[in-house]
Amino acid sequence: MTPEQKHLIRESFPAIREVAGPVSLLFYGRLFALEPALQPMFRQDIELQGRKLMDMLTTVVDNLDHFEGLAPTLRALGQKHVGYGVRPEHYQVLAQALIWALAQALDTAFYPELRSAWLGVIEAVSLAMKDGAAELSGS
């Protein structure tokens, strides 16, 4: 990520956090609309799950300058998600749903450069999680 992309993400995140509950509900609604087969994986209260999602996004944003330090945590998270039935192809659907939810939250402030910056972060997180998942299978 470029310094400018990190700046854009940090600048946009307070507005997202301000509406964290609705954003997470939009995200899960969109995720299940795009891929209904994923819904049974979420056995916990979806609002609690949404808080966990927003907590992880906060951690990622807070550590943009030291992202490599998050790698062990993200790999472990990817391994944990294998146990829930998450497969590598699910990460693309997740990214699509999350970008859509962020766009809904930020409306016209979600301009192309900001969208690109968020996509970069989501892809970096997904890659680290998929790496962790792959470690379980030895691939």
Give the per-residue SS3 of the chain: CCHHHHHHHHHHHHHHHHCHHHHHHHHHHHHHHHCHHHHHHCCCCHHHHHHHHHHHHHHHHHCHHHHHHHHHHHHHHHHHHHHCCCCCCHHHHHHHHHHHHHHHHHHHHCCHHHHHHHHHHHHHHHHHHHHHHHHHHCC
Q: Residue 106 — very low, low, confident or very high, per pLDDT cuts 50/70/90?
A: very high
Count CA atoms within 13 Å of residue 122 on its CB side: 21
At residue 84, φ and ψ (nearest 5 deg) are -85, -10
Q: What is the pLDDT of residue 136?
A: 82
Predicted model pTM: 0.92
Q: What is the pLDDT of residue 137?
A: 72
Q: Residue 29 — very low, low, confident or very high, per pLDDT cuts 50/70/90?
A: very high
For residue 128, count other CB atoms closer than 10 A to its CB. Answer: 21
Q: Tell me, which fold does domain 3-134 have in CATH?
A: Globin-like (1.10.490)
State yes or no: pLDDT of 139 exceeds 80.
Answer: no
Q: Mean pLDDT over residues 105-128, rounded?
A: 96
Distance between terminal CA atoms of the chain?
26
Q: Could you state, in order of their start, the residue ranges of all structural domains in the chain?
A: 3-134
Residue among 82, 122, 84, 76 nearest 102 (CA)? 122
